[in-house]
Amino acid sequence: AVYEEEVSLKFFATDPRRDIIRDDLFFQEVFGLLRMYFSGSFGRGLAVGGPSAPFLMNLFCEVFIDAPLRELCKKWELKYTRYVDDLTFSSELIISAEQRREIRKTIEVAGFRVNHRKSKVLARSMGTVFMTQVGLAEQPESVVARLVFPQKKRRHLHRVIHDYLAQRTDWPEQVSGYIAEFLYYYRNVAVKTATDRKTFALCRGFERVWAMNRERPVPWERSRRR
């Protein structure tokens, strides 16, 4: 079995670590842009809000979390991935309590705390497991997991696309967000099923209609203008 531990973070630290990042040679070339683009008027905070947060988070984590955790995982032969504040550790063996303590210690030194409410330990032998919105399932006679796109999520995606095409909703950006999640799965899954290809064609149909509607007012927009 392959074991997975998913760790979610909370409590972002805004302290002198910012100065360490600023003074690091790796970041000096981009620091001026970050200060101008993200600091807001008179340095009172983020100028653009949420969309900038993942980029700042990645800059911070590369120095204080990713680098030390990569060293630990190399020593223990663990696989480590991070999506913003969601960390995943994978191993052929059970991840020990000592290893988890060292991981937590590294996270706390960086100024974060583990969000235990959202963290979990999983084994792929339990069936399909979901981490950072990606489903993984065991494949017989293989140590490589198979990507899974849940049927519940697929049905919801089909429904919101059909609602948009039938002009029952005018939330194309929301539909596009669901499509992006499916396209990640579609581009990375090893073997595409007939259902996958059907969903992909439906997504492409939505994007064609949305592109045309952006060039001219769609019916519900015309009715609002009257």
| E strand or H helix that includes residue 33 | helix 25-38
The reported pLDDT for the residue numbered 173 is: 66
Residue 139 lies in a domain: no
**158 and 103 in one domain?**
no
pLDDT at residue 221 in the model: 43
Local structure of 81: helix, strand or coil? strand
Same domain, 36 and 107: yes
Q: Is the pLDDT of residue 185 over 80?
A: yes
In this structure, the answer to whether residues 104 and 183 fall within a common structural domain is: no
Q: Over 80: is that where the pLDDT of 35 sits?
A: no
* Cα distance between residue 150 and residue 133, in whole Å: 10
pLDDT at 121: 77
Task: Give domain status of residue 85, yes or no.
Answer: yes
Say whether both 108 and 15 belong to one domain: yes
Query: Is 83 inside any structural domain?
Result: yes
C-alpha distances in angstroms, 182 versus 4, 94, 171, 199?
A: 22, 31, 18, 9
Q: Is 41 found in the same domain as 105?
A: yes
Q: Give how many domains the chain has, as a whole number.
A: 2
Asked if residue 23 and residue 106 are part of one domain, the reply reads yes
Give the pLDDT score at 33: 63
- Which has the minimum average pLDDT: 45-49, 120-124, 129-133, 167-171? 45-49
Average pLDDT over residues 42-50: 50
Domain coverage including residue 87 = 10-112
Q: Which of 9-18, 81-90, 181-190, 191-200 is the most confident on average? A: 191-200
- pTM for the model: 0.53
Q: Residue 2 falls within a domain, yes or no?
A: no
Residue 140 lies in a domain: no
